[in-house]
Chain A
Amino acid sequence: MLRYAVKRIGLAVVILFTVMLAMYAMVFLVPGDPASLALGPRATPELKALLRERMGLDQPVLSQIWHFFASAATGDLGYDVWSKRPVLDQILEFFPNTLILGALALGWALVAGVALGCLAVVWRGRMIDRLLGVLSVSLISVPAFVVAIYALLVFAVWLRWLPAIGAGTPGDLVSQAKAVILPAFALGVGWVGYIARLVRASMLEVMGENHIRTARAFGLPESRIVLRYALRIAIIPTIAILAVGLGSVLSSAVFVETVFGRPGIGTLITGAVQKRNYPVVMGTVLFMTAFYLFIVTAADLLIARLDPRVRDVFRG
């Protein structure tokens, strides 16, 4: 298990390094000088030179990269070009909003998706199964921002049950909770259909295995067979997908955050890209990559917890 963990962490460092190199390459390959783009057409050459120096763009590329990693390793992600605030402070200010949004979105999608998937398996081949199939595919194919706009229209504008924009008043949990409901709903809808299909497919596979027949031969009720004997195995691929899904949810959160005017990592990063605020872009990407790698590794360890066969592979 320890050797496995060391291997995984080493791999994570390599992935982080590669991602950052790709980011640097992008900064230099995208046409246009960041400093002149940032300052506009009427900036003086002296002003541009000053900004380039402040962004560290006057140094050789390799030294820039080295500098970035060396300071990132000590927890210093640099300073915002415009506000001069530390990048890490901004990330830590915005990230919890996005994390809560993403976790709630996937959380309700998991509960609803597993329930619908199990229903489809219990009634397999019947009308309910076919209706759920159509529903799932429809849910998968509707983009999150479309759901967001309709949800906004119905629940915030027409019914006035929930606030339309923002993340709620800081310190007021009730208003924060109310503000997160619609965005989390919109972000999770597509995943409900996806998880339902996934759970149905892996459940059907598990239900055909010999040990399910054994459980039936001992007269166990079908509900117990589905929930204890089959779901515990069928849920494993879903967990692996969910970890990957969290990364995708966090990056697609930007659409929902834009529609609901909700501060978060998505709005932070798009704003920074538009203003060519490179330290913020790089810092945020590094942070998100690290977080994502952490989640994927945690999911693998959870799978090891659920499946004793995997656990033994790690032990050996």
Chain B
Amino acid sequence: MTGAVLQIEGLKLDYAVPGGRLHALRHVSLSIKKGEVLGIAGESGCGKSTLAAAMIGLTGANARQSAGTIRLGGQDMASLSEDDRRRLRGRKIAMVFQDPMTAFNPVLTIGGQLTDFQHNIEGLGRAEKRARAQAMLSRVGLSDPALIMGRYPHELSGGMRQRAAIAAALLLQPEVLIADEPTTALDVTMEAQIIHLFRELRDDYDGAMVIVTHHLGVIAELCDRVAIMYAGEVVEEGPVDAIYHGARHPYTRALMACDPAMIEGRTARLPTIGGALPDLRSPPPGCAFAPRCPLATDRCRAEAPPDVQLTAGHRALCHEVRP
């Protein structure tokens, strides 16, 4: 696919864990175009945070990429040295982390850290970087940026910290911005404000955005396309409207049915998906969702499901769907 700023193909990644290797990503392919907002959704443990970490190359010492490629602006990340990959971070690709409480260093000021985070830009003095940081704090809606520059992280509220984290990620105008659970640690009011901020930013930021969340409402609000993950695979991917109104994969349908926002009328019990994620140390030979799937046949349990192209840009990983 041309025009993709970030392209992932056949990515397999596993972690060394006690008792073997945990296959956290099993053949993931995704691509994101300039100006596009992609949501990645799924339940806890489906591999969405691992995928986000793999995009920026920070998967931890016990992780191993056993197959596949990650291309950033057409460049294969695996072909670069660690030092060259480090130079791309912040400038080409940046990340907003899940927990704003712990994302900043507790003993350095916000201003000091935002200035340091511009390490990979050349030709700017420290004073200019500080000025840029202050301007960016103002742009994400913090009302007294000069004061906030001198503050320590614990002196700010959760919402202010998350705004500062978003400002940090936007500092160098990266081509790809990844937000890993950007609203999960916030209360509902803060969440609404941060979603609102992302909507504003989306309009005048021309890079690609990846939003990783388990909150389907956040994706509906912000994204153009959504990828649903289950047990280390993208099981369905397509335009947000197509997925939300015409989900085809049984897992996506079950996930949508569980979203309290989708339920009309009163109910005494919230629906759940029965069963549990398979043990990813020894993934099943067939479809990973088969044990929990109402449509599962013997073929589902024995053979890996095909990647079925449903309509343009809408695909699902299932034996039982037809175009």
Contacts and interface: CB of A to CB of B under 8 A. Distances in A.
Contacts of A306: 107
A210 B102 contact: yes
B89 to A, nearest CB: 3
A70 to B, nearest CB: 46
Contacts of B168: 214, 218
Chain A interface, DSSP helix/strand/loop, else mixed: helix
B86 A219 contact: yes
Contact of B105 (A215, A217, A219, A312): A215
A307 interface: yes
Contacts of A221: 86, 119
Contacts, number: 80
A213 interface: yes
A172 interface: no
Nearest to B102: A210
A219 B120 contact: yes
Contacts of A229: 105, 108
The size class of the interface chain B forms with chain A is: 20 to 34
B163 to A, nearest CB: 15
A211 B102 contact: yes
A218 B103 contact: no
A306 to B, nearest CB: 7
A117 B168 CA distance: 31
A232 interface: yes
B242 to A, nearest CB: 32
Interface string A202-230: 00000001111111111111001000110
B26 to A, nearest CB: 24
Contacts of B251: none
B104 A218 contact: no
Contacts of A211: 102-106
Interface residues of A, number: 23
B108 A217 contact: no
Contact of A220 (B91, B97, B117, B152): B117
Given A233-B107, A306-B107, A309-B154, A217 B102 contact: no
A232 B86 contact: no
Nearest to A211: B105
Q: Max chain A CB contacts within 10 Å: which of B56, B94, B99, B106?
A: B106
B32 interface: no
Contacts of A213: 58, 97
A214 B116 contact: no
Interface string A183-219: 0000000000000000000000000011111111111
Given A218-B120, A219-B91, A312 B102 contact: no
From A212, A213, A307, residue with most partner B Cβ within 10 Å:
A213
Interface string A227-249: 01100110000000000000000
B88 interface: yes
Interface in B93-146: 94-95, 97, 99, 102-108, 113, 116-117, 119-120
Contacts of A210: 97, 99, 102-103
Contacts of B99: 210
B116 A215 contact: yes
A232 B152 CA distance: 14
Contacts of A309: 106-107, 152, 154
A220 B119 contact: yes
B47 interface: no
B87 interface: yes
Given A211-B103, A211-B104, A232-B107, A217 B154 contact: no
A212 B168 CA distance: 14
Contact of B90 (A209, A219, A232): A219
Contacts of B103: 210-211, 214
Contact of B106 (A215, A224, A308): A308
Contacts of B91: 219
Nearest to A219: B89
Contacts of B97: 210, 213-214, 217
Contacts of A215: 105, 113, 116-117
Contacts of A312: 154-155
B88 A219 contact: yes
A94 B291 CA distance: 81
**A209, A211, A309, A312 pick with most chain B CB within 10 angstroms:** A211
A217 B58 contact: yes
Nearest to B91: A219
A-B complex: 3 closest residue pairs judged by Cβ atoms: A219-B89, A210-B102, A218-B117
Given A215-B105, A215-B116, A312-B155, 8 more contacts: A210-B97, A210-B99, A211-B102, A212-B105, A220-B117, A224-B116, A232-B108, A308-B152
Interface of A: 209-221, 224, 228-229, 232-233, 306-309, 312
